[in-house]
Chains A and B, each alone.
Chain A
Amino acid sequence: MTETSPAAVVENLRVAFDGNEVVHGVSLEVRPGECVALVGESGSGKTLTGRSLLGLVPPPGVVSSDRLEIDGTDVRDLSDRQWRTLRGATVGLVSQDALVSLDPLRTVGREVSEALEVQRSRTGPRLNRAEARHAVASELDHVGMPDPANRSRQYAHELSGGLRQRALVAAATITHPKLLIADEPTTALDRNVQVQVLQVLRELKEEGTALLLISHDLAVVATIADRVVVMRNGELVETGATDEVLQAPQHDYTRAMLKALPSAASRGRRLSDQPVLDLPVAEVPDPERVLVEVTSVTQTFRTPDGGRMTAVDDISLTLQAGRTLGVVGESGSGKTTLGRVVLGLQQPDTGEVRLDGEPWSGVPERQRRPRRHLIQAVYQDPLSSFTPRATVIDVLAEALALSGVLRSARRGRSAQLLEWVGLSPDLLDRRPVTMSGGQRQRLAIARALAREPKVLVCDEPVSALDVSVQAQVLDVFSDVQDQLGLAMLFISHDLGVIQHISDDVMVMNKGQVVEQGSADQVLCDPQDPYTRSLLEALPQPGISPDNHADPVPDQADPVPDQEEQQ
């Protein structure tokens, strides 16, 4: 075996469940020191492809292929017992969300040492406690965990998201596997933390680990992958060097996917191919009219240990008709609380909220209720905001009834609302559970519009959606706002989305406003170091990934050549 013999070879991989094929002939190769990214939306078969390389396709899945090799071993007909000697030792897995991917009842140290214990129990003398402790500490240190000795005695829930994810990486790399499969390893993390975890993976790659990175996020892929494999509906769509695929995509699907990415560059242009929606409206509020005025609002909460934490600290903002204020910040920055205060669901400790010129905070709910229709909300997970047994017509009719629409007119009006948001009226008798994520979010928007609001508060409304669906829903928001002249408060952790949709931007950190102003001003000429760090952490696909100065760029180049020689 030579240095560059591939760590994994997959040829014509097919996975079927009960005779129903879901992965149709995927081929790829990962070499030591190389990162191959498997990119696709949900249902593309990328995770199953990764699992096939671990022998962990869930039953009753059937895997077949022309070649399936890990580190030179043909693994097509391995028994589970034989697979177990490979797993952990030769091929490792880093999955999404370490909070649930590490056993919550065991300490981080025990989870990290597990693979080594198992490997040693097969190959050599048992791992004693001192050795285990030493190995765990040095591996945690290797993935950049501060204070590894103490951290290893803690539990997953006691660590921050980034540290947890590092622990999960360490649990896979402690045996120095040749091949590491990273399945959405940074998806649940804030951007800043994503960058750190990606750096850890990049270092592993540079040390010679073959990395198969599975991701839906082209931005993540751009910063680390040498080659990209694009998948869609179980089929391989396009493959090639990262720069080529991202900058000169050959396939329509890849092109559409790249076009669908929201960013500063995509402002004012449509992200999807769907036609512009047509919303015939009688009355549009005067443009720029101030609809919501928040003055020096502070909101604190009691913490479980008896203290108080300030979720929103002295924040002022205005929402104007026809304009979108984007609120961006990491998890825990107070964005959602701010949204609840604006919606009048949370009584602020100090400060005032005015809606359309009249007091909104500090008045009894009885007074607020007749005006609630003016301000409506769209959330990340619309399904949990629909009654599970309700049909689409039930959902919309309830909102229409509150607006005083007569029973006889509700069905017709509901059909019209569905058309507004680009849904077919045929869906009226469907249940939201049977609809796709994008359809559900459109329904949530339709329900909000049923009350004829002037203000829309959107809390992470596209965060759970695939890129192409996200593009469509963002276009719906743009069309709705253009034609109805709504004021929007758009909350997101995703700076790309905020850049795309906002007229004004507010950056939050730990309950405080870090920077506030027009989108151009804040995002093109950030004054605050925190905003700058957020912007720097934002990878720009389509632009060369070189801004993340790869210390050994030469390593990536020879690989495709050798591939051709074979």
Chain B
Amino acid sequence: MLLRRLLIRLMGALVVVWGAATLAFAVLKLVPGDPVDVMLGVNSTASEDVRQQIRNDLGLDQPVISQYLGYLGRLVTGDLGTSYRLQKPVATVITEQLGPTITLALASIVIALVLAIVVSVAARGPITRRIAELLELLALSSPGFWTGLLLLTIFSFNLHWFPVTGGQGARALVLPAVTMALPIAGILSQLLRSGFDAAEREPFTTSARARGLGPVRMFTRHHARHGSLPVVTLTAYIMGSLLGGTVIVEQLFGRRGIGRITLDAITNRDLPVVMALVVMAAVVFVVVNLIVDALYPLLDARLRGRSV
């Protein structure tokens, strides 16, 4: 029974990835202009024979359907094609940049979660609640490029605590991670607070209070878990979108990463890279979804033994 459910889930996931791959392929075919021109650059003086040779090599002279099937076939074997511009396998291009992006995404999420938990727990009192609401709104509504510049001005240019751009170490990670974490912390903190508030209004809270529980026990034993349920879902989705790259922060802090190559690939019409990134984003979201689905029944017993 469990196995069957798992299989159905996996099939669904594959269909989503296949759909994304097909869409990416369709976009490639719909984009006007000759990919060979793009590959060779505008100033190329290559003869028509050479161009024909390249088309042959890439299979561009074949009918669309066999190109599509060939593309899917290569995709299944993990071959994402070759970047027009960099003349390197797309897989290599992406994996080179994946490390910094994952590091940044994880660091941001961790910072955001810590901030959100601290703020939402501190906000149980009437006055701290007002302050928390204000901070959340501020964090949510400040655009990343502005927060980033502000942080750079204060901590890099004036205090010289952190490097201005580039760099590899942990110190170089702090400012970009905080910049990305702040708006996320704002959302998560709001969600946590409303979750705690909702649990507060539930009848089981009255029962527990009648058993002599004080506010601390009430929180650790009952409300913390209820409040964290929706946060699990949202955190996972945010994680997914961060792995897709964050152009502004990478650009601002001069970091390498998926956001950077996405921007490069789109501006240079490096279509194999763009296609691969689309497929990757789909895979990331599907995987995140599966993890959340697997996690939920562990947190909430009511979801155990339910059908898909």
CB distance from B198 to the nearest CB of A (A): 12
Whether B212 and A88, one on each chain, are in contact in the complex, defined by CB atoms closer than 8 angstroms, is yes
Scan A112-126; emit 1 where CB is below 8 A from any B CB, else 0: 001100110000000
Tally of contact residues, A, Cβ under 8 A: 38
Scan A292-318; emit 1 where CB is below 8 A from any B CB, else 0: 000000000000111000000000000
Whether A93 and B207, one on each chain, are in contact in the complex, defined by CB atoms closer than 8 angstroms, is yes
Scan B164-208; emit 1 where CB is below 8 A from any A CB, else 0: 000000000000000000000000000000000000001110111
**Of A54, A105, A114, A119, which one neighbours B300 at CB under 8 angstroms?**
A105
Contacts of B204 in A (CB 8 A): 100-104
CB distance from B47 to the nearest CB of A (A): 66
Partner-contacting stretch, out of B84-92, B127-135, B214-222, B232-240: B214-222
Interface residues of B in 258-308 (CB under 8 A from A): 299-302, 305-307
**A168–B203 Cα gap in the complex (Å)?**
12
List 6 additional A-B contacts (Cβ < 8 Å) besides A56-B209, A114-B208, A171-B207.
Answer: A54-B210, A56-B206, A88-B212, A100-B202, A105-B226, A119-B212
- Cross-chain pairs A/B with CB under 8 angstroms, 5 sampled: A103-B222, A118-B213, A157-B301, A172-B211, A305-B305
Interface residues of A in 162-190 (CB under 8 A from B): 168, 171-172, 181
CB distance from B284 to the nearest CB of A (A): 29
A101-B204, A103-B222, A104-B302 known; A171 and B307 CB under 8 Å? no
Q: Which of B206, B210, B226 has the most CB of A within 10 A?
A: B210
CB distance from A305 to the nearest CB of B (A): 7
Whether A89 and B222, one on each chain, are in contact in the complex, defined by CB atoms closer than 8 angstroms, is no
**Of A89, A101, A155, which one neighbours B207 at CB under 8 angstroms?**
A101
CB distance from B262 to the nearest CB of A (A): 40
CB distance from B273 to the nearest CB of A (A): 45
**A96–B221 Cα gap in the complex (Å)?**
22
Partner-contacting stretch, out of A79-87, A220-228, A437-445, A472-480: A79-87
Tell me if B225 counts as interface (CB < 8 A to partner A): yes
Whether B211 and A95, one on each chain, are in contact in the complex, defined by CB atoms closer than 8 angstroms, is no
Tell me if A97 counts as interface (CB < 8 A to partner B): yes
CB distance from A45 to the nearest CB of B (A): 17
Pairs of residues from A and B, 4 with the lowest C-beta to C-beta distance, nearest first: A88-B212, A93-B210, A115-B211, A88-B211
The chain B residue sitting closest to A119, CB to CB, is B212
Whether B212 and A104, one on each chain, are in contact in the complex, defined by CB atoms closer than 8 angstroms, is no
**A54–B212 Cα gap in the complex (Å)?**
10
Whether B210 and A92, one on each chain, are in contact in the complex, defined by CB atoms closer than 8 angstroms, is yes
Tally of A-B Cβ pairs under 8 angstroms: 87
Whether A84 and B210, one on each chain, are in contact in the complex, defined by CB atoms closer than 8 angstroms, is no
Interface residues of A in 340-393 (CB under 8 A from B): none
A84-B214, A118-B217, A304-B306 known; A105 and B208 CB under 8 Å? no
Whether B225 and A87, one on each chain, are in contact in the complex, defined by CB atoms closer than 8 angstroms, is no
**Of A100, A107, A305, which one neighbours B307 at CB under 8 angstroms?**
A305
CB distance from B232 to the nearest CB of A (A): 13
Whether B212 and A115, one on each chain, are in contact in the complex, defined by CB atoms closer than 8 angstroms, is yes
Whether B213 and A114, one on each chain, are in contact in the complex, defined by CB atoms closer than 8 angstroms, is yes
CB distance from A370 to the nearest CB of B (A): 39
By a beta-carbon cutoff of 8 Å, the part of chain A in contact with chain B is 54, 56, 80-81, 84-89, 91-93, 95-97, 100-107, 114-115, 118-119, 155, 157-158, 168, 171-172, 181, 304-306
**A103–B204 Cα gap in the complex (Å)?**
5
Whether A171 and B206, one on each chain, are in contact in the complex, defined by CB atoms closer than 8 angstroms, is no
Contacts of B206 in A (CB 8 A): 56, 93, 95, 101
Whether A104 and B301, one on each chain, are in contact in the complex, defined by CB atoms closer than 8 angstroms, is yes
**Of A87, A97, A100, A106, which one neighbours B211 at CB under 8 angstroms?**
A87
**A59–B28 Cα gap in the complex (Å)?**
63
By a beta-carbon cutoff of 8 Å, the part of chain B in contact with chain A is 1, 202-204, 206-214, 217, 221-222, 225-226, 299-302, 305-307
Contacts of B1 in A (CB 8 A): 305
Contacts of A103 in B (CB 8 A): 204, 208, 221-222
**A173–B37 Cα gap in the complex (Å)?**
82
A87-B210, A93-B207, A118-B213 known; A155 and B221 CB under 8 Å? no
Contacts of B212 in A (CB 8 A): 84-89, 115, 118-119
The chain B residue sitting closest to A105, CB to CB, is B225
The chain B residue sitting closest to A305, CB to CB, is B307
Whether B217 and A105, one on each chain, are in contact in the complex, defined by CB atoms closer than 8 angstroms, is no
Contacts of A88 in B (CB 8 A): 210-213
Whether A172 and B301, one on each chain, are in contact in the complex, defined by CB atoms closer than 8 angstroms, is no
Q: Which of A104, A107, A119 has the most CB of B within 10 A?
A: A104
A105-B300, A118-B217, A304-B306 known; A100 and B209 CB under 8 Å? no
**A46–B66 Cα gap in the complex (Å)?**
78
CB distance from B209 to the nearest CB of A (A): 6
CB distance from A381 to the nearest CB of B (A): 19
Contacts of B203 in A (CB 8 A): 95-97, 100-101
**A101–B201 Cα gap in the complex (Å)?**
11
Whether A92 and B301, one on each chain, are in contact in the complex, defined by CB atoms closer than 8 angstroms, is no
**A168–B211 Cα gap in the complex (Å)?**
11
The chain B residue sitting closest to A181, CB to CB, is B210
**Of A56, A80, A81, A155, which one neighbours B301 at CB under 8 angstroms?**
A155
CB distance from A76 to the nearest CB of B (A): 19
Whether B226 and A168, one on each chain, are in contact in the complex, defined by CB atoms closer than 8 angstroms, is no
Contacts of A104 in B (CB 8 A): 204, 300-302
Whether A172 and B217, one on each chain, are in contact in the complex, defined by CB atoms closer than 8 angstroms, is no
Contacts of A86 in B (CB 8 A): 212
**A56–B200 Cα gap in the complex (Å)?**
13
Contacts of A305 in B (CB 8 A): 1, 305, 307
Contacts of B211 in A (CB 8 A): 87-88, 92, 114-115, 118, 171-172
CB distance from B187 to the nearest CB of A (A): 23
Contacts of A157 in B (CB 8 A): 301-302
CB distance from B215 to the nearest CB of A (A): 9
The chain B residue sitting closest to A107, CB to CB, is B301
**A172–B212 Cα gap in the complex (Å)?**
10
CB distance from A8 to the nearest CB of B (A): 14
CB distance from A65 to the nearest CB of B (A): 19
Contacts of B213 in A (CB 8 A): 84, 88, 114, 118
**A168–B210 Cα gap in the complex (Å)?**
12
Contacts of B299 in A (CB 8 A): 105
Contacts of A56 in B (CB 8 A): 206, 209-210
Contacts of A89 in B (CB 8 A): 212
Whether A87 and B209, one on each chain, are in contact in the complex, defined by CB atoms closer than 8 angstroms, is yes
CB distance from B228 to the nearest CB of A (A): 10
**Of B207, B214, B302, which one neighbours A81 at CB under 8 angstroms?**
B214
Contacts of B202 in A (CB 8 A): 100
Contacts of A80 in B (CB 8 A): 214
**A127–B204 Cα gap in the complex (Å)?**
22
The chain A residue sitting closest to B209, CB to CB, is A56
Q: Which of B208, B212, B226, B300 has the most CB of A within 10 A?
A: B212
**A181–B307 Cα gap in the complex (Å)?**
39
CB distance from B6 to the nearest CB of A (A): 16
The chain B residue sitting closest to A87, CB to CB, is B212
CB distance from B303 to the nearest CB of A (A): 10
**A106–B302 Cα gap in the complex (Å)?**
10
Whether A95 and B301, one on each chain, are in contact in the complex, defined by CB atoms closer than 8 angstroms, is no
Q: Which of B208, B211, B217, B299 has the most CB of A within 10 A?
A: B211
**A415–B226 Cα gap in the complex (Å)?**
48
Q: Which of B202, B203, B217, B306 has the most CB of A within 10 A?
A: B203
**A111–B210 Cα gap in the complex (Å)?**
12
Contacts of B210 in A (CB 8 A): 54, 56, 87-88, 91-93, 172, 181
